[in-house]
Amino acid sequence: MKNEQVIEYIVGWLRDYAQNSGMTGFVVGVSGGIDSALTSTLCASTGLKTIVVELPIHQAESQVNRAQRHMNELAIRFSNVEMCRVDLTPVFDTFMKAQVLQPLNEQTGMLTQANSRARLRMTTLYHIAGLRHCLVAGTGNKVEDFGVGFYTKYGDGGVDLSPIADLMKTEVFALAKTIGVHKDILNAAPTDGLWGDDRTDEDQLGASYPELEWAMLQHEGGGQSRDNWTTRQHEVFAIFQRLHRANQHKMLPIPVCLIPSEIKG
């Protein structure tokens, strides 16, 4: 992959889309992770207003430090960058206290809480975008968005445009290194930061991103060479297939009940 040319292409695409939409720029939620770091840097490189927003909810200190360092560095590098911090911890705690239904089990309760964090963040980003007439830029990559569906529906999946959704995670790392993302972010284990602990994406998914990328390519090719796979490759492919099937509701358009004309009248 020709990193510099890909970066130039994405930056041009972002700039053209915003200008053709009559919008002033972008809002990006910054987590301290590689995807949001690359996305925010690409948006800033357009020269258009770029508002980078930190949205902590009981966040680990290491994630907070990486996010703040990245935002500060962006603001130094780009005069069009504006920083914003919205501590959603009190909002989240109040929201959880207001809930009257009990979860069916502990795991369901934890997953629902994690998804609620993502949806509170999405609501906040759109509020800021509305105030400044900006677009909310998504931070999902290809294997997350179209492979295993590793995002929250109407949470971090609720965006106006997706500049890095055609990049595999390994390609995201390569572009981030080229564009000057801080080494602390490059070296950090990927995590969605939604659980209030140190669990990584690999802990949740059961496979690393390079493994899942391999499985995604095998899936797209029909898994023709599976007779030559190792035991681990069979395991990873099964993980990918399970997640891909389970998360189709995120990847496909919302089902619409089309009523036959002969009974609709």
Residues of the chain with pLDDT under 50: none
Would residue 209 count as lying in a domain? no
List the strands of the sheet with 25-29, edge to edge.
81-85, 49-54, 25-29, 135-136
Would residue 218 count as lying in a domain? no
Instruction: Give the pLDDT confidence of 119-144 residue by residue, as tens digits.
Output: 999 999 999 999 999 999 999 999 99
Instruction: Identify the domain containing residue 149 by its residue range.
Output: 3-201
Which CATH number covers residue 94? 3.40.50.620
Instruction: Give the pLDDT confidence of 136-178 residue by residue, as tens digits.
Output: 999 999 999 999 999 999 999 999 999 999 999 999 999 999 9
DSSP 160: S
How many domains are there within the chain? 1
Average pLDDT, the chain: 95
Would residue 244 count as lying in a domain? no
Return d(Cα 176, Cα 70) in angstroms, integer: 12
Would residue 36 count as lying in a domain? yes
DSSP 161: B
131 by DSSP, 3-state: which? Answer: helix
Return d(Cα 91, Cα 111) in angstroms, integer: 18
Would residue 241 count as lying in a domain? no
Instruction: Give the pLDDT confidence of 24-34 residue by residue, as tens digits.
Output: 999 999 999 99
